[in-house]
Each structure stands twice: as C-alpha cells, then as structure tokens.
Amino acid sequence: MSFFKKIFSSEKKETLDKGLEKSKTSFFNKLSKAVAGKSKVDDDVLDNLEEVLVTSDVGVETTLKVIKRIEARVSRDKYLGTDELNAILREEIAGLLSETNIGEATEFSIPQGKTPHVIMVVGVNGVGKTTTIGKLAYQFKKKGLKVVLGAADTFRAAAIDQLQVWADRVEVPIVKQSMGSDPASVAFDTLQSAVNQNADVVIIDTAGRLHNKVNLMNELTKVKRVMQKVVGDAPHDVLLVLDGSTGQNAFEQAKQFTAATEVTSLAVTKLDGTAKGGVVIGISDQFKIPVKYIGVGEGIEDLQVFNKFEFVDSFFK
C-alpha cells in the first residue's frame, strides 16, 4: 500500500525495529495461537484477533475499529487466508491512523517564523519527562537551534538536579531557582533569558503531581499566564509525556491531563523495555492530539519523531 514508502534512514529504522522487538514478539506469539489450525479469516479468527489486540494494549475502542475494517475487507474479498492476516493488519491499522493528523514530521523541527518557540512539558513523575526534555534539547541543538531549558518543577530537588545534568550533557543553558520556588517565576525568568539570548527554542519542565487536578490546572494556568507577559502567545506546544511501559495506565494519564490542561502533543517513552508498544496505536487513534515523539531506547539518539506509518511497518513487519 502507498502508506509504506521509505521515510526514515536505515539507521533510524533499525533503532525503531529494535525498540519495538519485545512488543512485536509478544504480539506475534499471541497471533500465532489465535490462528492456529485455521486457514481462513472467519468469525472465530476475528474474535481471537480482537482479544490479541486488546491484550496488546491497543485499547478496546481502537481494536473494535480495526476489527470492523477487517470484517469489511473479508466481506469484500470473500476469502482471506490467515497467512495474509499480518499484511492486512498492517494495512488496515495504517489506514485507520491515516484518517487523523495527516502530514506528520519526520525530523525534529519548530515552526518557521516567530522565536523563541516555547514548549511546556507536562506529565507525572517517573514517566521519563526530564530525559525526554534532555534528548529533545540535544536534537534541536544538533539542528543548529539555540535552546534554553527552564527547571519549573520546583517541588522536587531531584527534578532540578536531573535537568541540570542534562543541560550540562547537552551543553545548553538552564534557568533554575531553589526547590520550593514559584514555578511561574522560573518560567518567567527562563523566557526573559531566552529572549535576551535570541534563543530559538525554550523547553520548560513542570511538576508532575496528579493527585489534585484542580491544583495542577491552577498551577499550569498560572505558569502559562506569566509566560505570556514575556512571549504573548506562549506556550506554543504543551507536550504530555506518557510512559508506554504502563500500557492502559498511559491512556488514563492522557485522559487526566487532557482534562486538566490543554495538551497539544504527546511523547510516549520507554517502548524498548516493554511488550506494550500497541498502546501507541491506541493513543494515536483515540486522542485527537498528535503523538509527536517516541522513546525507543536509552541512548541520547533514541528519542524519535513519531511517524505512524514507519511505526506500524516496524510493529507488523
């Protein structure tokens, strides 16, 4: 199908294939059992396939859409062999995902024109938020962009220290205050510093507490409001980081955060250490928010721009 034209470099594709290895192996082991002894895609195979997709963390809603598409194809083509199921899944899931967010990026970039481009990063503690910020800063810097980091997660000393480690590693400036400082004050200082330095990109870390949605919403709203005193339309991107290894819990976090604040893009991390990579397919389909980045390894290069067709190609290869 025309969805699967080569977009990524062979090295990047290899990293993606490797990062999804556990998810792929788990999925195909389940799929083999689901079609054992069957030569034709019939109702039993479809029932089993539904269970395989749900237990692979694709999510019930997205699974039902996929099954419906395959049922339509079985009805149209009259006979489909189980040996074709892999290719059919690959094509139908790509077709489903192509219905939303068409025209994805394949490289790390920011919109042309006004700078600095301000990214506010949100997500619960432990999802890989700070690591994602560090790797993102590295990729932007590699593109020749001037990056400034802001340590506005002031509730944990560890968060400030971790961001400092990444700033040192990537060799980009960081604006920080002491633990317990007002996050909005840090964000304000960061943007002022970025404007003074003619920075291209600002990445602001924020606190990851989700036990009280009202407090979280108020805090993030205040941070946004204060940033806008320096850059009128900031933030330009509110990036929610989700831990892919938590499977369905990542869906729940996405629901909670999108209810608490306006999220404009998603990053799904830790896909290499888990068999739950199917969660990216479900999240990409269900939330009308683009998945922008995925983490497929621990190396500094292993944060990738998410391209749904390359992802589906690697997953069902």
* Average confidence (pLDDT) per 10 residues, the chain, 317 residues: 66 89 91 88 92 92 94 85 87 84 71 91 92 97 97 92 97 96 96 97 88 75 95 95 91 86 92 88 87 92 90 87
**What pLDDT shows up at residue 252?**
87
8 A C-beta contact, residue 242 and residue 231:
no
What's the whole-model pTM score? 0.91
8 A C-beta contact, residue 264 and residue 224:
no
Strands 303-305, 174-175: pairing kind: unpaired
Give strand pairing partners of 147: 201
8 A C-beta contact, residue 15 and residue 296:
yes
Q: How far is CA 233 from the centre of its chain?
A: 24
In 3-state terms the chain splits into helix, strand, coil percentages (rounded to 5) of: 50, 15, 35
Alpha helical stretches, state H, the chain: 10-19, 21-34, 43-55, 60-77, 85-97, 129-142, 157-170, 183-196, 213-227, 248-260, 278-286, 308-315
* Residue ranges matching CATH 3.40.50.300 in the chain: 117-307
**What pLDDT shows up at residue 7?**
66
Could you list the residues known to form a binding site for GTP, using ranges.
Answer: 123-130, 205-209, 269-272
* Residue ranges matching CATH 1.20.120.140 in the chain: 10-97
Fold of 10-97: Four Helix Bundle (Hemerythrin (Met), subunit A) (1.20.120)
**What pLDDT shows up at residue 212?**
61
Fold of 117-307: Rossmann fold (3.40.50)
**What pLDDT shows up at residue 223?**
94
Could you list the residues known to form a binding site, using ranges.
Answer: 123-130, 205-209, 269-272
CA distance 280 to 258: 16
